[in-house]
Chain A
Amino acid sequence: MEAIHLLSRASFGPSAASLEELQAKGLYEWLEEQLNAPSEKEEEREDSRLELALQAYKNASLPPIELVDHYQPGERPLQNDDKRPWKMRVATVDYNRLLSDVQMSELTRHMLSKFQLREVMVDFWVNHFNVYARKGDTKLLTSAWINEVIRPHALGRFADLLIATAHHPAMLIYLDNESSVRERANNRGNRGTNENYARELLELHTLGVNGGYDQADVKETARVLTGWSVARPPQGEFTFVFRAGNHAPGTKVVLKRAYSQGGEAEGQALLVALARHPSTARHIADKLCQRFVLDKPTAACVDHAAEAFLASGGETREVLKAIFLHPSFWTETARGQKYKTPLEFVMSAARSVNAEPDGGHDLVRALSKMGQEPLMERAPTGYPENASAWMSSASLLSRFQYAALFAAQWDAGITFDWSIELAQERTIDGLVATLNRQILASVGEKATLELLARELNNLPSTIGRRRLGLSLALSSAEFQRQ
């Protein structure tokens, strides 16, 4: 049961293979391996199934400029002799197809990667540093944002991740910092700072809402970051640019500390100070404990994780290790006491029967109906992690609906092979026992298993029983818990 508990939190749900691997390696070795995951490129070289499944969506990872040529209507790349100016070419991009491919690449990795803890952390950071994929030019930048900012730092040093997010055009556009400039009057009227990014940087990304800053700190932070902007085509290729002329002059004071370096270095120094601030340690530790342990984690657990954060200089690996090796993680009161988000529901269903994406985009539509379309949360908080957000009538009904589609493999966005154990079972008791073991990780309650047996008994065909059995197992309360 320890292995199941670990896999239900540190991965997108146990699969037969991951369970076997964890049991063979033991907790420590497994955890070390997960914490030291190779780069995605290396992983793909070693994992042909993953590589093949990603093929269908691979255009989405082209650089932003090339995306424009590859996602024109009609699915054919633009010819090199397309001499239309940038503005014309970008106006005809098929963003729906592009963003669906980006979303599916992510879902494919979440579902199939053997380095599940990294995948879970990618989802964690994608929400922590939320960017809405449909805001302005962010549409072209989401893939770069994930592959260049989130993924390389998912298990690394928090400061590196924070600094990378602050420099990326996707974030600079999403929270308006690209156009925040020093106060001055010109012929277009007053211009000046925009506090949007500065506030979320303090409130959401680092210190936390009770982290000890005030409105003056927000304002000063905004001034420190004036001039952090984006070079767009045709002048640039969506790269970070520091516009010195827009940077507010003079000394700024944030959290009682003066910043007077000037230039980009000033913002850099502020980000480093924020990344190692004790409030940040506590905020990140608290959120990680919520993700991995309990919606309302114990103070002991959060303290321990925050200490690991400070002691290691903000190494995410060390914080995670501290959480997974802390007694709070393993107590009975933590097991099965969190609910799956829609993403976790869909991913764990797929992993339980060793499914893979079918090359289309139905999985994105399914998640959209459940209220958690990847990369499409508008609010800078990202999608919520806690149960209260996801346990609603509409949300559960959409899970039941998906469970039926999934078992029938109708427009469910996945494909799997019934040659799994389930198909071999000839008796109803055998089928129910296998469903319990394989889908419900052996925590099916007596009433649920009896209900399953009774209902399956009413169906004459083996195929019908299999489908109904799987739909019901995926719809059960047990399967919503993690």
Chain B
Amino acid sequence: MKVGILGRRSFLHIVGAGALGSFASPARGAEIHDASPMVVQLFLRGGLDGLSAIIPYEESIYFDSRPNIALPMKGKMLAENRLDNRFALHPALSDLLPLYRQGKLAVVLATGLPKVQRSHFDAQDICESGGNDSILEEGWMTRLLADPSRTPRPIDALCIGTNRSRSVLGYPSVLTVPSLNHFSLPGRGKIQERFENALTLMYPEQNSGEAVIDAGAQAMRLLHEMKLVQKAYNGPHRGAVYPKGGLGKDMQTLAELIRQKPALAVATIDSSGWDTHRGQGALQGPLSNALKALGEAISAFHQDLGPEAKRVVIVVMTEFGRSVRENGTKGTDHGHGSFMMVLGDQVRGGLHGTWPGLSPKNLTEARDLRVTTDYRRVLEAVRLRHLNGNKHQSPFEEASLGPGNMNQLFRDRQSVDTNLPTPPVESRP
């Protein structure tokens, strides 16, 4: 079933033509004093094997089910990567440990869709549309942005990449930015000038409701904006070093845009290659390499942003976890529960959620980690507590929300909460 919550009319109401038309006005400088809280959704496509990232090192079933790919957590390695008395971080993610120890990084255990969905594409679409067991017409961020109590900004939604993320589907004004380079029209002199001028006339900002007209107008805005961004860009700040490869480059682009575009409210960024059916490895191997790049990229991003990081919460998510047992090719097949990470200044660092355990009777369909926190519970906590969203304007259908309670995910604003006790992880017998 597809549900369209927003009509075009509501957008015209919410995002008035005035707001959209102001991008080139000198009011740009004014936005800086007006920096808004924002959320970054980092989506790991392919289904991250949560059990290889957050290792339940006390569970013998974990080692029994994975003779070739379990992480041998003990001794010094365990001491260095231990999160608590039951869980440890994959050593490849060690770049995240300082953030975890500073109490800025929360790990929510056993998250996922409330119902089993083992198709990548449906699971991703459901997650990004904020659905329960079916794909909704608009993205979850689209509905979030349409909250009438929010003041829309000229540039408030950004997708890193060539294409729009499903999460902002239906939002009329989205910038998609593949990189910091290649933002000029080819040619020179009079023809180039006329071409650019004519395109601006051809695609006026008007919220037409027709995809190509809106995308064309945003393309011209992108061209203008990115020329300014490029002019002001002088590399990562504070000596941040991003890992080589797509994710590092994309996170670097994102950090710069966050710095220069203080009105951003949501951004999406993707990382692919997590579908580890074969030879995923343990301490070394393709999954370890991918985790290394992930940890380095997040850590560099945080350092690069510096004081700007205060207004940014990053949510790391994936469409599903993988089978508890390794398969016949030293990999893992599509499963159910995985985990999410939430990084931010006001986040209550540590482990959150309920660990369902790995004994067969606690698994979903006797093979997969059970989901004890509906992924939407985490997103909703970020919306309410970080973006100051309206309680009555949830982008998620209340009645369909699955298990989980994320009331503790953020620290209270007023309290000076310095020693940050880790909330106890509940456990099922």
Contacts and interface: CB of A to CB of B under 8 A. Distances in A.
Are A and B co-members of a single complex? yes
Interface residues of B, number: 63
Contacts of A191: 328-329
A393 B219 contact: yes
Given A394-B219, A400-B185, A404-B187, A179 B328 contact: yes
A459 B328 contact: no
A443 interface: no
A215 B365 CA distance: 9
A189 B69 CA distance: 11
B162 A394 contact: yes
A410 B197 CA distance: 21
Given A176-B278, A394-B219, A458-B194, A199 B334 contact: yes
Given A190-B67, A400-B219, A378 B272 contact: yes
Contacts of A404: 185-187, 192, 195
Given A370-B162, A393-B219, A179 B329 contact: yes
B198 A393 contact: no
Contacts of B365: 215
Interface stretch (A36-44, A50-58, A382-390, A429-437): A382-390
Interface string A456-474: 0011000010011001100
Given A190-B67, A393-B218, A404-B186, A464 B162 contact: no
Contacts of A183: 328
B186 A410 contact: yes
Nearest to A447: B202
A196 B202 contact: no
B212 A451 contact: no
B175 interface: yes
User: Max chain A CB contacts within 10 Å: which of B68, B194, B221?
Assistant: B194
B229 to A, nearest CB: 14
Contacts of A17: none
Nearest to B225: A393
Contacts of B118: 199, 215, 218
A480 B185 CA distance: 18
Contact of A401 (B177, B185, B202): B185
A300 interface: no
B212 A468 contact: no
A360 to B, nearest CB: 17
A391 B178 contact: no
B327 to A, nearest CB: 5
Contacts of A195: 277, 327, 333-334
B333 A455 contact: no
B169 to A, nearest CB: 6
A313 interface: no
B373 interface: no
A330 B203 CA distance: 29
Contacts of A19: none
Contacts of A476: 202
Given A176-B278, A190-B67, A455-B198, A371 B163 contact: yes
Interface stretch (B119-127, B388-396, B401-409): B119-127
B425 interface: no
B167 interface: no
B159 A392 contact: yes
A196 B202 CA distance: 47
A393 B328 contact: no
A203 interface: yes
A388 B169 contact: yes
Contact of A339 (B187, B211, B221): B211
Contacts of B333: 194-196, 199
Contact of B211 (A369, A371, A391, A394): A391
Contacts of A391: 164, 211-212, 214-215
A181 interface: yes
A113 interface: no
B326 interface: yes
A321 B329 CA distance: 44
B290 interface: no
Contact of A472 (B163, B202, B222): B202
Given A179-B278, A369-B182, A371-B163, A190 B326 contact: yes
Contacts of A8: none
Contacts of A192: 327-328
A379 B270 CA distance: 13
Contacts of A164: none
Interface string A350-389: 0000000000000000000111000000111100000111
Interface residues of A, number: 60
A396 B215 contact: yes
A356 to B, nearest CB: 21
A403 B163 CA distance: 19
Contacts of B176: 392-395
Contact of B122 (A209, A390, A396): A209
A170 to B, nearest CB: 16
A398 B198 CA distance: 16
B2 to A, nearest CB: 10
B328 A468 contact: no
A220 B194 CA distance: 62
A401 B186 contact: yes
B317 to A, nearest CB: 17
B23 to A, nearest CB: 12
A394 B331 contact: no
B327 A193 contact: yes
B27 interface: no
Interface in B179-200: 182-183, 185-187, 190-192, 194-195, 197-199
Contact of B202 (A190, A394, A451): A451
B216 interface: yes
A272 interface: no
B277 A196 contact: yes
A240 to B, nearest CB: 18
13 contacts: A194-B331, A339-B212, A369-B182, A378-B272, A390-B163, A392-B215, A395-B163, A396-B218, A397-B223, A401-B186, A455-B197, A477-B203, A477-B210
Interface of A: 176, 179-181, 183, 189-196, 199, 203, 209, 215, 218, 339, 369-371, 378-381, 387-398, 400-401, 404-405, 408, 410, 448, 451-452, 455, 458-459, 464, 467-468, 471-472, 475-477, 480-481
Interface of B: 45, 67-68, 116, 118-122, 159, 161-164, 169, 174-178, 182-183, 185-187, 190-192, 194-195, 197-199, 201-203, 210-216, 218-223, 272-273, 275, 277-278, 326-329, 331, 333-334, 365, 367
Question: 10 smallest A-B Cβ distances: which pairs?
Answer: A192-B328, A371-B162, A393-B218, A396-B219, A391-B211, A397-B219, A392-B176, A394-B176, A391-B215, A196-B277
